[in-house]
Amino acid sequence: MRTSSLTIMIFANRRFPAARPRRMRKDDFSRRLMREHTLTPNDLIYPVFVLAGEKRSEPVSSMPGVNRQSIDVLLRTAEEMLELGIPMISLFPYIESGKTPLAEAAYDPEGLIPSAVRALKSRFPELGVMTDLALDTYTSHGQDGIIDESGYVLNDLTTEILVKQGLCHAEAGVDMVGPSDMMDGRIGAIREAFENAGLIHTRIFAYSAKYASAFYGPFREAVGSAANLGKADKYTYQMDPANIDEAVQEVAMDLEEGADIVMIKPGMPYLDVIRRVKDTFRVPTYAYQVSGEYAMLQAAFQNGWLKREACIMESLLAFKRAGADGILTYFAMDAARLMKEGRGYY
Ligand code: PBG
């Protein structure tokens, strides 16, 4: 048989592939040995909606599996979080009355959130407690700040109120505050107020790169601000989804002003921003898998279109791979349970 020299060359080179990445993928043990990223309960922060009263646990219709909880119910949730090894809870209030244009209720020491903080910290001192600093649930118009006649959110006046809210929560014993408002200079103002009050241990978790996203819809139902906000939007303070250099600027400012952790929000559509921020600053960087991402996945699970356990774990692991140190997620309890039962996908 005559064979051309070209055919011989190809035959010699192609008899077997130069590398076989599939060798390491063949068995579970070797897949585990080369796994680059992992998810543990230490990576999770659990956001919870709190409401007044007792023995109340009300489902949020656009977030199946999520309930607004009164403080007594919240304490049971906290106990389960500790059993599962989740380090921190993040509290968001559902305010049913007393909303005003100037959001005075936001810094009432007897308000829902300071009361929840005191209850949690006295019962479970080892559980990290974070609170949201923003006025959207306290304003009659649903914006995160105080507005002028034209509806524009006033930066410096809003910051003054956020400082009062931060001090009120810190005095109630909160471990970490999470300003989610996107006012300029608020991290520095809050840090200075904490230092002046001797509150040197209260951490600031800065919602640094918070985009004006359509994925927050279910959250606004959960906290009851959707109706107040109506057709208004948050484009004059939250970031344009088209931008990424601006996210780097925002993070730089927050770090300069004294943030302990920075955050990118939403999560899954913004993995590139997480990677860029982590590579640029190498500081504790978190992602928020927001309400719309949660709702979208739950809807697909309910329809049998996606596999629940595998998709929860894959979506969370993706944040770690993108460079996040951890994730705020409504799936925190489900994910930690799966990990504990050894039923995690990874
Ligand atoms: C408001 C706030 C929002 C979220 C957290 N804090 C909504 C908004 O900015 O309108 C969204 C969280 C989520 O969608 O899960 N300060």
Rounded to an integer, the average pLDDT of 121-141 is 97
**Cβ within 8 Å of residue 233, ≥6 positions away:** 212
When mean pLDDT is compared across 183-187, 223-227, 303-307, 329-333, the lowest value belongs to: 223-227
> Is residue 19 assigned to a domain?
no
Provide the pLDDT confidence category of residue 13 given band limits of 50, 70 and 90.
Answer: low
User: What is the signed CA dihedral for 79, 83, 86, 89, rounded to 10 degrees?
Assistant: 0
> Is residue 30 assigned to a domain?
no
CATH number for the domain that contains residue 198: 3.20.20.70
> Is residue 27 assigned to a domain?
no
Nearest CA to ligand 1 atom 11: 216
> Is residue 137 assigned to a domain?
yes
Tokens standing for 246?
């601006």
Using the predicted structure, report yes or no on whether residue 346 has a pLDDT greater than 70: no
Using the predicted structure, report yes or no on whether residue 263 has a pLDDT greater than 80: yes
Rounded to an integer, the average pLDDT of 328-339 is 97
Using the predicted structure, report yes or no on whether residue 5 has a pLDDT greater than 80: no
Cα(92) to centroid(ligand 1), Å = 9
pLDDT one-digit tens code per residue, 219-236:
999 999 998 999 999 999
Hey, is 203 helix, strand or coil?
strand
The DSSP letter of residue 101 is: T
> Is residue 25 assigned to a domain?
no
Rounded to an integer, the average pLDDT of 277-303 is 98
Cα(25) to centroid(ligand 1), Å = 40
Domain tally, the chain? 1
pLDDT of residue 88: 98
Q: Which domain holds residue 124?
A: 35-340
Whether residue 250 is annotated as binding a ligand: the answer is yes
> Is residue 10 assigned to a domain?
no
Using the predicted structure, report yes or no on whether residue 1 has a pLDDT greater than 80: no
> Is residue 16 assigned to a domain?
no
Using the predicted structure, report yes or no on whether residue 14 has a pLDDT greater than 90: no
Pocket test for ligand 1, best of 66, 177, 238, 290 (most atoms within 8 A of CB): 290
> Is residue 77 assigned to a domain?
yes
Nearest CA to ligand 1 atom 9: 216
Tokens standing for 173?
């014993």
Number of H helices, E strands in the chain: 14, 10
Provide the pLDDT confidence category of residue 7 given band limits of 50, 70 and 90.
Answer: low
Query: Could you confirm whether 210 is annotated as catalytic?
Result: yes
pLDDT of residue 8: 59
Query: Could you confirm whether 55 is annotated as catalytic?
Result: no
Full 3-state SS string of 30-95: HHHHCCCCCCCHHHEEEEEEECCCCCCEEECCCCCCCEEECHHHHHHHHHHHHHHCCCEEEEEECC
